[in-house]
Amino acid sequence: MKQLIAEEAIEIDAPLSVVWELLTDPDKIKKWTLLKIDFNEDSPLEMGSEFYWKDEKGKACARGTVIEFERERMIRTSAYFYHWNRFVDPDALSEIYMVVKKNGKLLLTHTYGDFSLVPGGEEIYRDYIKGVTPENTELKKIKEMAEE
């Protein structure tokens, strides 16, 4: 089966510490994410941190966990949707935010997938791609907040 992975990147002209705080501080994440999200703790994300996505009725519909963490470089989270009726490897559907220095600026990349490994993955992938347009991306919001 063909891999279904969404990837995007953006250059940001801001200090690394500012961008990293936007990626790990729960209150700041809520300002740029397109999803309704709650966190178990108010402290910055770190290895093992958990969070929950909510549906339009405010009910928890998925759980995320930080499964890889390199301070000021990369954060990787897994996702598990409660409606899946079978075991899914926690690594199957993950999001990776990576920050690297490039030409005096920061390059923030976002990789999300592989949707082909999870139940209903094609539909989830299509919905995700439909919702992320060039003028409405999380990376664009992060850039705007970081460069303020």
43-73 confidence digits (pLDDT tens):
999 999 999 988 888 888 888 999 999 999 9
φ and ψ at residue 84, rounded to 5 degrees: -65, 130
Residue 145: band (very low, low, confident or very high) from pLDDT cuts 50, 70, 90: very high
The CATH architecture annotation of domain 6-146 reads 2-Layer Sandwich (3.30)
Tell me the average pLDDT of the chain.
89
What is the predicted pLDDT for the residue at 78? 92
What is the predicted pLDDT for the residue at 1? 72
106-116 confidence digits (pLDDT tens):
999 999 889 89
C-alpha distances (whole Å) from 131 to each of 101, 127, 135, 146 are 28, 6, 10, 22
Domain ranges for the chain: 6-146
